[in-house]
Structure 1
């Protein structure tokens, strides 16, 4: 249950690290989520902005002192719809 909790929250403003990706050059990339759409996450680190395709990455995110690994496929949806869907499943 605790792992699903992170999926219910707004991700914008969270700091993430890419732990696995279809494009291996993205692994290790980290930054702050500055935007989220149905299929993309936009992160910023210093002056660099990267757009990531959700279903092609696995991210590590820290929330309330816990570190989670999330397969981006679980995030594919508009943020507001994802939050509603997860609440219905609980």
Structure 2
């Protein structure tokens, strides 16, 4: 079960996401569902079925968990290949 404390070790693909802050103003407000993830980027499918690729390092994300909880994550923390991030031990983020 995905929780705010273990979100780093879970797959992000399929989660609803919104970009709430970014060093690039064009990324702020993008929201949709995560459809792909690489080491440095997250691909978001918006409601109009367009896809946006957002660099992780420049954005702050709000992920909506299945229970309705919203988790804010700085993109710099999740820069890693998904398969490596899942294995990685994170210091206490909270």
Which TM-score band applies after superposition, normalised by the shorter structure?
0.7 to 0.9
TM-score norm. by structure 1 comes to 0.88
Structure 2 residue runs of 5 or longer lacking an equivalent are none
Q: How many residues align?
A: 88
- Give the Cα–Cα distance (whole angstroms) in 2 for the partners of residues 4 and 77 of structure 1: 18
Question: What corresponds to 2:86 in structure 1?
Answer: 83
4+ residue runs over 4 A deviation: none
- Give the Cα–Cα distance (whole angstroms) in 1 for the partners of residues 89 and 25 of structure 2: 30
Question: What corresponds to 2:43 in structure 1?
Answer: 42
Higher strand share: 1
Higher helix share: 1
Q: Deviations over 1:36-90 (max 9, x none)?
A: 0000100111221100000110000111321110000011000010010037x58
Contact 1:4 1:86 in 2 (8 A): no
TM-score norm. by structure 2 comes to 0.85
